Amino acid sequence: MPSTSYLSRAASPLKTPQSEPIPGSSQVENRAGGFAWEISSMDRLRRFLILGSEGGTYYATERNLTRQNIDGVKLALDENGVAAVQEIINISTDGRAPKNDPALYALAIACAHSDENVRKAALYAIPRVARTGTHLFHFAEFVQTQRGWGRALKSGIASWYEQDEDKLAYQVVKYRQRDGWTHRDLLRLAHPEAISPTHASIFNWLCNRDNDSVLPITIKAFKYAQASDSFHETANLIKKYGNKLPREALNTEHLNSGEVWEALLYEGMPLTAMIRNLATMTRIEVLKPMSKGTSYVIEKLSDQEYIHKSKVHPLSILGALATYSSGHSARGISSWTPLREIIDSLNKAFYISFKNIKPTNKRTLLALDVSGSMTFGDIGGMPGIDPRIGSAAMALVTASTEPNYHIVGFSHELIPLSISPNERLDDVISNISGLPFGRTDCAQPMIYALNNKLEIDTFCIYTDNETYFGNIHPMQALYEYRRISGINSKLVIIGMTADKFSIADPNDSGSLDVIGFDTATPQVIADFSADRF
């Protein structure tokens, strides 16, 4: 308890209970009844784009959190419209977010903005943010809740169908319908111009107006695959047409066949599809000890260049690792015996999926908020990855690159943690998941460093910013640490939920607020820590 700590004994003028705002500051009340700062509208937009709002937090229902996120998006568009649209495009196209849905939703809101320049920028961005057929269907569903189907929106949708003919053919056989939308619906609505005879034949085919025009090879392959009546024939079609025939284009009855999955695997199954289907491939014994399939998957999961090029998000790998190593699906419908070598490879792939980070050699305290609220909801809607587990994985990414680090947990008190990047992440997950719940005091890491006379250059705190319990604010504890230690320590707050609060004082140049599970975050932490900004 803080009552035995140095800070509570010291008479300090800079000591305000967290249930009250620091006098003279612009702090506002957070969800837990403590006081923190409100982040900027652009930062709120970024948190929403990266963390989503699925699952909510302990103190806020998902619906409330979603409504607040939408308010945040609208505020960013009002204050900084065109730049906000550009941020939506950047985060989406750079693969910094685990899911594209928040970007599609934010773009749909931007398409209905009152400022014509913002609207134009957003409509023009449709094909860049809605890159797959499924993205386009989601976007159509979102946008019609925001505005009517005017001419500008129709031409924005139409521009999606003016992409390269081979890519278009692949998209329309892989993603044929979603959310009650089909390509035929969108074609009828948007009337895109057929920019080539092949485009005209694709449109005709999608609208069931099959004529004599020549269809691209991808659509022919799709038709053969749908008509195939044996596993063997389907596998041969995959071998013949290679990656033009994705799993989604096959006769679904043939997806129980090892022969079919092997063909898919070796003919260039995308990495995201591979990691999502490890359990299926294990169940049907494409993946088993010493098999060719197992070696193939291990090779791909160790290939740094391939992983970076595929833009697979680290959170997708962590989610796959958590599910695969558990041996059963989320709803318990199917089960499998996980292979140790596949789990090892996923573990390595997680670290590889972040860009190479230059170490800072700074003395770094990685402090994980393990309070009760951190176990509520899944980050980015990833099953099994709550903010507490996500924090541990993110902290280990920094730990794996920094020679000089120490990891602790905290709730209303300090909690020793013995996790390290030398452990496999599934063991870390079970270690973290078993910790007791507690209340929240984000000043604990600084108090701990003071009481133990630890020399810390950078405090990294992974939290939902719902601090309320302590008798001193985290920033005041940091100022006190700096004063007593003589070290001009920095503070990085890694926000693990998409709300609008931060315990970092926006006026302190030695403090920074960043977003957990942004793929750019470990590098940003390192650059800030080493004064590379």
Where do contacts with Ca ion occur on this chain (CB under 5 A)? Answer: 371, 373, 440, 466
238 in Cβ contact with 186 (< 8 Å): no
Q: Minimum Å distance from CB 509 to Ca ion?
A: 27
Amino acid, res. 472: I
Q: In whole angstroms, what is the distance from residue 345 CA to residue 505 CA?
A: 40
Sequence-distant (≥ 6) Cβ neighbours of residue 136 within 8 angstroms: 126, 130, 157, 160, 175, 186
Query: Which residue number, 364 or 371, has a Cβ lying nearer to Ca ion?
Result: 371
Give one DSSP letter per residue of 38-56, joined into a string: EPPHHHHHHHHHHH--TT-
Q: How far apart are CA 96 and CA 523, in angstroms?
A: 13
List phi, psi (to 5°) of 531: 55, 35
Q: Strands 177-178 and 181-182, how do they pair?
A: antiparallel
Q: Cβ 37 to Ca ion, closest distance in Å?
A: 17
Instruction: Compute the least distance from the CB of residue 63 to Ca ion, in Å.
Output: 20
Task: Provide the minimum distance between the beta carbon of 495 and Ca ion in the complex, in angstroms, as a whole number.
Answer: 13
Nearer to Ca ion, 316 or 371 (CB): 371
Smallest distance from Ca ion to CB 480, Å: 22
Q: Which is nearer to Ca ion, 59 or 170 (CB)?
A: 59
Angle between helices 165-174 and 197-206 (to 10 degrees): 10
Closer to Ca ion by CB, 12 or 64: give it. 64
**What is the DSSP secondary-structure string of 333-346?**
S-B----HHHHHHH
**Judged by CB, which is closer to Ca ion: 440, or 444?**
440
Closer residue to Ca ion in complex, CB, 326/440: 440
Q: What's the one-letter identity of residue 65?
A: L
What is the nearest approach in angstroms of Ca ion to the Cβ of residue 156? 42
Q: Minimum distance from CB of 422 to Ca ion (Å)?
A: 28
Q: Which is nearer to Ca ion, 258 or 390 (CB)?
A: 390
In contact, 478 and 340? CB cutoff 8 Å: no
Give me the least distance between CB of 492 and Ca ion, in Å please.
19
Q: Are strands 490-495 and 28-29 parallel, antiparallel or unpaired?
A: unpaired
The answer to whether residues 399 and 405 touch, using CB atoms and an 8 Å cutoff, is yes
Q: Which amino acid is at 125?
A: A
Comparing CB distances to Ca ion, the nearer of 19 and 132 is 19
In 10 A of CB 412, how many CB atoms? 17
